[in-house]
């Protein structure tokens, strides 16, 4: 299978990549971070907004992360050149004229789920993806410890739609019906899998009693680097549980994954306790599956030569990734 973007370490698709927790960069502070092989300086202006630029000053290459935030701009520590949020140099202390090349690439930023996110271009068509069930609502988010996998993030991301492995690895014997929906711009694709619980084993019968006869979950993929999983849809007793997987390729060798659990914010003390309980349930559901999947994705050499009909969601996902837009962070331009 000849893929241009899918499973290609040389290519970074346009999308939202996680930088750091919002609390790591307070007002008036800057921080230099490496994201997808790019050194980027993030700084929070006096207005509270996060900006992002290429980190190295175009004068002599000093990292602006050690510079000083002035109002809503950043000044280099070395020769005190100052840059605004568009990357334009606005002041050079030793002279009034500013060279045309005194400019840095700027990047769009967003703050959501307790994190700062960066987009590999100055403008993004939309913000970080959201859950339909939480759209317009206040939410609580709980971040877990990040982890790494020894394969490309596109491979890791297929786990949520691999219906076959639910039976073989996790012993969840449900025949799944697939529903597929793509947004207008083509950067988001939703996989909905639903089926009826069998009642052969004690575990399956208990699942029917607690959750009902049917089971449904949705995996939303955004830009080939963000996965939004919703489980416990349309079941007894429980509202839907939401978890996010933010994927970042590192050094062309492995993937860093940041799990985040999200739930609707509820009023009062009882509402807070309920929300925390649901976040912990989401975390537990993730931990029940993580170890078994880790054995696979830390030891895989992906080479799909014998695709089955049950693998249709995986093929659709691979084709979707190859339609994404290539960013300037990529090592080479694709023909």
What CATH number does the domain containing 291 carry?
Answer: 3.90.380.10
Boundaries of domain holding 220? 132-321
152, 255 contact by CB (below 8 A): yes
Summarize pLDDT for 105-127 with one digit per residue, the tens.
999 999 999 999 999 999 998 99
Can you give the pLDDT at residue 296?
81
Q: How many domains does the chain have?
A: 2
Can you give the pLDDT at residue 184?
78
49 and 101 both lie in a single domain: yes
69 and 137 both lie in a single domain: no
Please check whether residue 4 lies inside any domain of the structure: no
260 and 302 both lie in a single domain: yes
169 and 244 both lie in a single domain: yes
Can you give the pLDDT at residue 333?
44
218 and 177 both lie in a single domain: yes
CA distance 163 to 220: 15
Please check whether residue 188 lies inside any domain of the structure: yes
Structure tokens at 165: 């492995």
156 and 206 both lie in a single domain: yes
Can you give the pLDDT at residue 176?
62
330, 9 contact by CB (below 8 A): no
118, 267 contact by CB (below 8 A): no
CA distance 153 to 15: 13
Domain end among 118, 141, 158: 118
CA distance 292 to 308: 22
Structure tokens at 173: 């014997």
E strand residue ranges, the chain: 17-21, 30-35, 38-44, 50-54, 68-70, 73-75, 82-83, 89-91, 106-107, 109-112, 115-118, 139-143, 147-149, 177-182, 188-196, 214-222, 226-231, 241-250, 254-264
Can you give the pLDDT at residue 299?
84
71 and 156 both lie in a single domain: no
Q: Which residues of the chain are modeled with pLDDT < 50?
A: 1-2, 333-335
β-bridge pairing 38-44 and 50-54:
antiparallel
Please check whether residue 104 lies inside any domain of the structure: yes
Can you give the pLDDT at residue 269?
94
331, 8 contact by CB (below 8 A): no
What CATH number does the domain containing 95 carry?
Answer: 2.102.10.10
Q: Which helix (H) or strand (E) holds 50?
A: strand 50-54
Centroid of chain to Cα 8: 18
Can you give the pLDDT at residue 2?
46
Summarize pLDDT for 167-194 with one digit per residue, the tens.
777 666 666 666 778 887 789 999 888 7
Centroid of chain to Cα 52: 18
324, 16 contact by CB (below 8 A): no
């Amino acid at each position: 299978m000849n893929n241009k973007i899918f499973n290609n370490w040389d290519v970074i698709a346009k999308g939202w990549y996680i930088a750091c927790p919002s609390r790591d960069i307070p007002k008036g502070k800057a921080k230099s971070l490496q994201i997808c092989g790019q050194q980027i300086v993030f700084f929070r202006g006096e207005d509270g907004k996060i900006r992002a630029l290429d980190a190295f000053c175009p004068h002599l290459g000093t990292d602006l992360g050690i510079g000083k935030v002035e109002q809503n701009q950043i000044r280099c520590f070395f020769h005190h050149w100052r840059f605004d949020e568009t990357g334009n140099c606005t002041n050079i202390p030793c002279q009034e004229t500013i060279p045309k090349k005194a400019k840095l690439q700027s990047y769009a930023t967003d703050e959501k789920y307790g994190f700062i996110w960066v987009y590999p271009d100055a403008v993004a068509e939309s913000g970080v993806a959201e859950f339909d069930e939480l759209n317009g609502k206040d939410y609580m988010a709980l971040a877990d410890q990040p982890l790494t996998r020894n394969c490309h993030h596109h491979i890791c991301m297929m786990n949520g739609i691999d219906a076959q492995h639910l039976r073989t690895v996790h012993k969840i014997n449900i025949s799944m019906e697939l529903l597929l929906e793509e947004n207008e711009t083509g950067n988001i694709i939703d996989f909905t899998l639903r089926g009826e619980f069998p009642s052969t084993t004690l575990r399956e019968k208990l699942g029917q009693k607690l959750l009902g006869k049917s089971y449904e979950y949705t995996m939303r993929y955004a830009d080939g680097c963000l996965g939004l999983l919703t489980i416990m849809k349309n079941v007894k007793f429980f509202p839907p549980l939401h978890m996010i997987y933010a994927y970042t390729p590192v050094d062309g060798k492995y993937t860093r994954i940041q799990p985040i659990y999200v739930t609707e914010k509820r009023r009062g003390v009882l509402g807070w306790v309920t929300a925390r309980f649901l976040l912990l349930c989401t975390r537990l559901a993730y931990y029940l599956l993580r170890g078994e999947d880790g054995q696979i994705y830390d030891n895989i050499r992906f080479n799909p030569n014998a695709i089955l009909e049950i693998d249709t969601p995986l093929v659709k996902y691979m084709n979707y990734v190859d339609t994404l837009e290539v960013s300037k962070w990529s090592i080479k331009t694709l023909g």
